[in-house]
């Protein structure tokens, strides 16, 4: 007999998703809580997908569909390139008939009211003003973290890094071919505000979420056994830009290393890019 019932999952989602929310983004790490509900198979995970769909109703639901093979393979298939972000997006994709945006690395699954609008976004850069993350910000999306740490779930902060033009990233273009179920559709590109090639960015977003928590802007499930939480995109953006305004390295744990790269290696690394990788 599982410790928790399906009604508990439904209640926990309703604790963090409100009637006023029109756009809901879900990041999930189900294996941190699945056993408490007795969910041990992909088919059982579908039950949780159905609970999510029931809570969302006809509103816009967005799930990450990230796949990071594109720089290596030069191929992205809308139907066959599996999401590399856990089982919930993979199961929801087909079960809910979700559509997929065309960015090869930073793609999203979407269903609901705003599907066509999101699919039509130009996405000049992955995290830029006409992309999916910016659209989430404009619509003040409810960003939900189910069983994950903030660093694992709130990729919206990358949007804030691009707004602030943090010096430890730079724009790089990745090019290849777009397919759908094996049928070639044409060329595709994605411009990413990427990290240094030879250095890791040790992300530390604790200041952002400490500030949001201090402002009582984090919603959490009332049942402590269910690790669900959510924040509004606008609250994340305001807190993030406030902190980055004081220190552009504030979201990193290895600021000294990154400062040294910016001062001594950044220009040379950008200059070494192949012409087709450059984006200005």
Q: How far apart are CA 160 and CA 207, in angstroms?
A: 14
Contact 163, 131 (CB under 8 A): no
Q: Could you tell me the pLDDT band of residue 149, with boundaries at 50, 70 and 90?
A: confident
Confidence band, pLDDT 50/70/90 cuts, at residue 198: confident
Residue 60 scores a pLDDT above 70: yes
What is the full DSSP assignment across the chain? --SS-HHHHHHHHHHHS-TT--EEEEEE-GGGTHHHHT--SHHHHHHHHHHHHHHHTTSEEEEE-----HHHH-EEETTTS--SS-HHHHHHHHHTT-EE-S-SSS-EEEESTTHHHHHT---SSTTSTTSHHHHHHHTT-EEEEESS-HHHH-THHHHHHHHHT-TT-EEEEEEEEEEETTEEEEEEEEEEEEPPSS----B--HHHHHHHHHTT--EE-SSTTS-EEEEEHHHHHHHHHHHHHH-TTTTBS-HHHHHHHHHHTHHHHHHTS-GGG---
pLDDT-based confidence at 4, cuts 50/70/90? confident
Residue 147, token pair as written in the block: 């069983």
Whether residue 1 has pLDDT greater than 60: no
Which residues, at least 6 apart from 213, have a Cβ–Cβ distance to it below 8 Å? none
Q: Are 137 and 233 in contact (CB under 8 A)?
A: yes
Judging by DSSP bridges, how do beta strands 183-194 and 170-180 pair with one another?
antiparallel
pLDDT band, residue 2 (cuts 50/70/90): confident
**In this predicted structure, what is the pLDDT of residue 57?**
96
Q: Shortest CA distance to 11 belongs to which of 241, 224, 245? A: 224
What is the structure's pLDDT at 8? 96
The structural domains of the chain, with segments of one domain joined by +, span 6-165+204-254
Full-model pTM? 0.95
Mean pLDDT of the chain: 95
pLDDT tens figures, 78-130: 999 999 999 999 999 999 999 999 999 999 999 999 999 999 999 999 999 99
């Amino acid at each position: 007999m599982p410790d928790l019932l399906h009604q508990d999952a439904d209640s926990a989602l309703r604790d963090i998703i409100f009637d006023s929310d029109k756009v809901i983004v879900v990041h999930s790490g189900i294996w941190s809580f699945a056993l408490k509900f007795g969910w041990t198979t992909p088919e059982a995970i579908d039950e949780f997908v159905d609970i999510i769909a029931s809570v969302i109703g006809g509103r816009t639901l967005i799930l990450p569909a990230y796949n990071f093979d594109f720089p290596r393979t030069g191929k992205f298939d809308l139907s066959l390139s599996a999401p590399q972000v856990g089982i919930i997006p993979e199961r929801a994709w087909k079960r809910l008939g979700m559509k997929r945006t065309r960015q090869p690395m930073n793609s999203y699954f979407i269903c609901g009211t705003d599907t066509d609008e999101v699919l039509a976004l130009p996405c000049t850069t992955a995290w830029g003003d006409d992309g999916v993350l910016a659209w989430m910000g404009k619509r003040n999306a409810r960003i939900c973290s189910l069983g994950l740490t903030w660093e694992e779930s709130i990729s919206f902060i990358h949007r804030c890094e691009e707004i602030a033009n943090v010096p430890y990233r730079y724009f790089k273009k990745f090019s290849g071919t777009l397919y759908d179920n094996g049928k070639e559709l044409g060329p595709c590109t994605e411009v990413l505000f990427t990290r240094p090639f030879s250095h890791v960015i040790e992300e530390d977003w604790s200041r952002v979420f400490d500030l949001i928590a201090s402002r009582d802007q984090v919603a959490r499930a009332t049942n402590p056994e269910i690790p669900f939480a959510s924040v509004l995109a606008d609250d994340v953006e305001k807190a993030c830009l406030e902190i980055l305004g004081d220190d552009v390295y504030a979201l990193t744990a290895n600021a000294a290393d990154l400062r040294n790269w910016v001062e001594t290696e950044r220009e040379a690394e950008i200059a070494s890019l192949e012409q087709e990788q450059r984006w200005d």
